[in-house]
Structures are given as structure tokens and as C-alpha cells.
Amino acid sequence: MRKENVFLAVLLFLLFIHGSCAGKTERGQVFAQSRWELADGTIFVYTLFDYQGNLGGEGMDGNRKWIFLAGGCFWGTEKYFSLIPGVTKTEVGYANGKTEFPTYEDVCWNNTGHAETVLVEYDPDRLELSSLLELYYEVIDPTSLNRQGNDTGTQYRTGIYYVDETDRETIDSSISRLRERTRSPVVIEVKPLENYYAAEEYHQNYLDKNPGGYCHISFDKFEQAANLTW
């Protein structure tokens, strides 16, 4: 084989390898999407499922919106949100930290700044954001700083992270109403989403895979969520 052909073959092979690994991180995690462009800048959302459309509007299955909710251990919060009528998808991950592609161990032990977070995709024609937030308050202690249930640390902080700027007014109004009925200061973090990385596959739908697994949310809350009607 001529040298030029050998060189071309090697080059094509390297390009193939690069393309086939484009959705993988150095830690072996595979993601369906990598970056979303928003009007006010770029945020990074790495998710295990494919979503076509923009984060705040029309998606491949019709009208869908995203909100990112941190409420302590994400095993129970994902289970809870997944049962709410009008929620179309959930996923657990790590949000608004300073470390790229963190592992669970990084988030727990290496001061990454990430919060355990649930990506909640919902149909706004069936479920209003204000109603979803009221349900969120049902399963957290909004006055507890960096602690929910038996879990302590900044990764267990409460937070509402939005990707649609028009949601901010709804969130602020909801937090104001919550403050009116809460004696202690509300410490829920409210910020635009800066970044989100899906957690490892074994964390996804954890309580479905491990029905006896730890959860800081009482199981009657799951039943209440599943029986909601709009």
C-alpha cells in the first residue's frame, strides 16, 4: 500500500473514532445532547435522553417546558415528580457547579458546588409552573440550609434553576407566597441554570430499580402525587 493511502486510511480512522466518541466524556458517560443556545447566552445541558427543540418551548412531542429542581437526595425527588400528572419526563443530575462532567463521588466529596437536581419536563397546558412549585414545597423543608432529611452538605441544598427567563416572575411570586406562610427564612436558591450534567445511569429512576432504597420523602407523598387530578 502506498504511503499516501496509509496516511489517508489512518486519518479516516481517527476521524471516525472522534465522531463516535463525541457524545462521551472522559469519565465514560454518554450524553444525547451537549449544548443549548439561549438568547441571553450559552448554558450547558448534558442529558441522557434526546430532546429536540428549545428548552423553554416547542419540543418534538409538542409543547414542553423544563425546570430544574434541587430538593435533597435526588432519588426520592425524581420519583415524586415523575408521578405528577402533566410531568412528561424526569432525569436526575448535577446542576450549577464549577466542575465539568462530575461523578457522584465528585459531588459528594470534592467540593464541586453542584446540587443534586431533577430535570423536570412538563406540559404547561396540563400543569402550570406555579402548581408544580407548590408540589415541590410539599416534599422539602424550604427553611433548611444545605440539609434535607438525613443528608447534609451543599449538594443537598434546595434550588429552583430556570432556563426560560419568562419563568422568573412566576418563581418569584411563588417564593413570596411561600415566605408569607413560613415563620423561618426561606433559603431556596433561585437562579438561572448555568450548567447541568446527567447523573450516572444507576441513579436514574433509582427507586423503581430499588424499591427499598433510602428516601427522605414519605411514601404517602408518592401516593398523593399519583392521585392528583387537574
| pLDDT tens readout for residues 134-172 | 999 999 999 999 999 999 999 999 999 998 899 999 999
CA 136, CA 159: separation in Å to the nearest integer? 10
Angle, vertex CA 72, rays to CA 68 and CA 75, nearest 5: 80
In Å, the largest CA–CA distance within the chain is 80
pTM of the complete model: 0.84
Q: 14: exposed, middle or buried (C-beta count within 10 Å: 0-12, 13-18, 19+)?
A: exposed
Q: pLDDT tens for residues 77-133? A: 999 999 999 999 999 999 999 999 999 999 999 999 999 999 999 999 999 999 999
Is-contact 6 13, C-beta < 8 A? no
Q: What is the dihedral of CA 226, 207, 109, 150, to 10 degrees?
A: 60
Q: Does domain 32-226 have CATH number 3.20.20.70?
A: no
pLDDT at 52: 54
From start to end of the chain, where are the E strands?
Answer: 33-38, 41-47, 58-59, 62-63, 65-71, 87-95, 115-122, 147-148, 151-152, 158-162, 189-192, 195-198
Structure confidence by residue, pLDDT tens digits, 207-227: 999 998 999 999 999 999 999
pLDDT at 45: 84
C-alpha cell at 57: 418551548
Q: Name which of 32-41, 183-192, 200-209 the model is least confident about.
A: 32-41
Q: Which three cell numbers stand for residue 5?
A: 493511502
Calpha distance 125→127 (Å, rounded): 6
Assess contact for 61 and 89: CB atoms under 8 A: no
pLDDT band at 178 (very low <50, low <70, confident <90, very high): very high
What is the rounded distance in angstroms from the CA atom of residue 172 to the CA atom of residue 3? 66
Q: Which residues are catalytic?
A: 73
Task: Please tell me the distance from the alpha carbon of residue 72 to that of residue 149, in angstroms, as a whole number.
Answer: 8
The residue ranking higher by pLDDT, 155 or 12, is 155
